[in-house]
Amino acid sequence: MKIAVLTSGGDAPGMNAGVRAVVRSGNLYGHEVYGIKDGYMGLVEDNMILLTHQSVSGMLTKGGTFLGTSRLPEFKELSVRKNAVKNLKDRGIDALIVIGGDGTYRGGMELAKMGLKIIGVPGTIDNDIPGTDFTIGFNTAVETIVDAIDKLRDTSSSHQRVSIIEVMGRSSGDLAVYAGICGGAEFIITPENPMNKEDMIDKIKKYKNEGRRHAIVVITEKILDVHQLAEEITEKSGFSSRATVLGYIQRGGAPSPDDRILASRMGTYAVELLNDDIYGVCVGIRDSRMVHLPFANIIGQKRPKNELYSLVKKVS
């Protein structure tokens, strides 16, 4: 077979390890593997290269995505996708593995409807894809956030401050919950676990009266203005407060060992599904096992609330 692979949407540590696994296992099974540059853009522009064992050497440990990624809103248009399908067909490429998040999956499903053999691999730090317990990049991002929380605690404790840390996650609070628990946050605010601001400020006042020297608040992006919240806490609680928006730093860095393993397993599994003539599906990990589900069962579905959410109130 000729198999193409691309990375698309938000980059995530471990995407390279996933591409490497597709190339190495693909070659092992006798397939040719092509890397498409810059996500769906390279597909439309016919910008792809043959990847060999050697071309992915050293990629296991590298953050970002060496193939590049992009956002291409025009890919929602049928005429643009037709061009992409033609480019693959002209090269005799039989199948395409897309590594990315929800939007990438939507693009993949549209291509599957047009007759291409597509496999989706979940690559996003947000851990917001249904059908998998974990996505590639999530574990590394949690490590990055925990490192930041640990550092912010040192300084907030010295200055007797409430530190507010805004993390990514879009509509998923998993980054905030995992990192918040690991970092011993007093408050973890997520779309799934909203918090009454007045209650929180009352609790912070109580902490001050008890003689505590600091508190950590971890909050998912886009819930409220964290700098305004810091001002309000400073005005009302007796603690001074500062907000830190971690931003794109959460996307960077070498993938953690867990993400290297996850990406290696998922990339290999995607190729093995194609070997078995299975496509139109997305790869996932459930209870430590590789699984796959059709695109239609994943796109637009809700992820079940992670059981760690119930731990938040008990340990914070």
How far does CA 118 lie from the centroid of its chain? 20
Q: Which helix (H) or strand (E) holds 188?
A: strand 187-189
Q: Does 104 bind ligand ADP (CB under 6 A)?
A: yes
- Please tell me whether residue 84 binds ligand ADP under the rule CB under 6 A: no
Residues near ligand ADP (CB under 6 A), total? 18
Residue 4-23 contact track with ligand ADP, rule CB under 6 A, x = bound:
----xxx-------------
187 in contact with ligand ADP (CB under 6 A): no
Q: What is the 3-state secondary structure (H, E, C) of 80-95?
A: HHHHHHHHHHHCCCCE
CB of 208 to ligand ADP, least distance (A): 41
Contact between 64 and ligand ADP (CB under 6 A)?
A: no
Shortest distance (Å) from residue 107 CB to ligand ADP: 3
| Cα 107 to chain centroid, rounded | 17
Q: Is 132 in the site for ligand ADP (CB under 6 A)?
A: no
Smallest gap from residue 116 Cβ to ligand ADP (A): 13
Q: Considering only residues 2, 47, 55, 71, which one is a binding residue for ligand ADP as defined by CB under 6 A?
A: 71
From the candidates 126, 133, 174, 259, give the one annotated as an active-site residue. Answer: 126
Q: CA nearest 187: which of 141, 210, 227, 220?
A: 220
CB-neighbour burial class of residue 209 (10 A; exposed 0-12, middle 13-18, buried 19+): exposed
Identity of the residue, 35 or 103, whose beta carbon is nearer to ligand ADP in the bound complex: 103
Rounded CA separation 1/271 (Å): 10
Residue 96 CB, nearest distance to ligand ADP (Å)? Answer: 13
- Rule CB under 6 A: choose which of 14, 18, 64, 103 binds ligand ADP: 103
Helix 15-28 × helix 257-275 angle, to 10°? 40
Q: Is 287 a catalytic residue?
A: no
Q: Which of 15, 48, 72, 119 binds ligand ADP (CB under 6 A)?
A: 72
Q: How do 289-294 and 281-286 pair as beta strands?
A: antiparallel
Cβ-count burial of 300 within 10 angstroms (0-12 exposed, 13-18 middle, 19+ buried)? exposed
Residues that bind ligand ADP (CB under 6 A): 8-10, 40, 71-73, 75-76, 100-104, 106-107, 110, 124
List residues with catalytic annotation. Answer: 126
